[in-house]
Amino acid sequence: MRRARFDEVIVRRANLRTPFPPQFSARLAGHTVNAVSRRAKYLLLELSSGDTLVMHLGMSGDFRIEPAESVGEPGKHDHVIFRMSSGKAVVFNDVRRFGFMDLVPPGEAERHPALSVLGPEPLSTDFNAEFLARALKGRKTSLKAALLDQRVVAGLGNIYASEALHIARLSPRRRASSIATASGAPREAARHLVDAIKQVLTEAIERAAPNTANNYRGGRFRVYDREGERCRRRGCPGVIVRKTQAGRSTFYCPVCQK
């Protein structure tokens, strides 16, 4: 979409997770996409108008790109159609309607409620053992739940949190504050966990793997969705178990993750 102009924007319902902003289509039409970036799981499109289009796919949303002239009758869950100057149509489909779109005025993106509370990107240098220990100092919640807190680390997600904890040999049920000293300094566990998070995300990027269990099985997960199977760590006799934490499924090995 970069450098393409919005020729027409068709919005087929009043809301997704939240209502579309006023005059959404009119504020986009005629303007060019100057830059495309990402913050956590939010897509950011900087426009020639100075506005920023902020989008989130939710749990089931996706975009498909097709020649504009071939777009026929929209499907039931095709909620937004962007007709671009490139001759392509970008169609947003979202079965569960947990997606999100907003237009942010110039200079306001970093203060947007969805973005201003986010912690550092997990692959950035700002996310390190020292930061993680300070963030979890005194936290009584479980380590797994803490990793899903977007204020701690942005966009890690449920699957890769489980995978990283297995790599780091840390139980998802241990208290979050246990990886920090009383003063907030990092213990060795914090360093192992940060390294594991960066490792599992880097591996996923290199594989260009989708981020959902339905599309990404392929025998690559260490623990996720492997309840009842033997632990894949060499020499470990453990069996993977599943527990529910903060409403999400957690998979781990109770033998090698302490």
Cα maximum dimension of the chain: 63
Confidence at residue 31, expressed as pLDDT on a 0 to 100 scale: 98
Residue with tokens 């979050």: 176
Confidence at residue 10, expressed as pLDDT on a 0 to 100 scale: 96
Domain extent listing, the chain: 6-116, 129-252
Contact residues for 94 (Cβ-Cβ < 8 A; gap 6+): 16, 57, 58, 60, 61, 62, 77, 79
Which tokens in the block code for residue 86? 């490139």
Q: Whole-number mean pLDDT of the chain?
A: 93
d(CA 115, CA 96): 22
Question: pLDDT-based confidence at 216, cuts 50/70/90?
Answer: very low
Overall average pLDDT of the 18-30 stretch: 97
- Whether the predicted model's global pTM rises above the 0.85 cut: no
Question: pLDDT-based confidence at 51, cuts 50/70/90?
Answer: very high
Residue 26 corresponds to which amino acid?
A: A
What CATH number belongs to 6-116?
A: 3.20.190.10
Confidence at residue 78, expressed as pLDDT on a 0 to 100 scale: 96
Task: Specify whether the CB–CB gap between 56 and 99 falls below 8 A.
Answer: yes
Strand 62-67 with 241-245, pairing: unpaired
Fold adopted by 129-252: Helicase, Ruva Protein; domain 3 (1.10.8)
Per-residue pLDDT tens digits for 152-209: 999 899 999 999 999 999 999 999 999 999 999 999 999 999 999 999 999 998 886 4
Q: Establish whether domains 6-116 and 129-252 are of one fold.
A: no
d(CA 72, CA 89): 11
SS (H, E, C) 216-241: CCCCCCCCCCCCCCECCCCCCCCECE
Q: Is the per-residue pLDDT at 91 higher than 50?
A: yes
Q: Is the per-residue pLDDT at 65 higher than 90?
A: yes
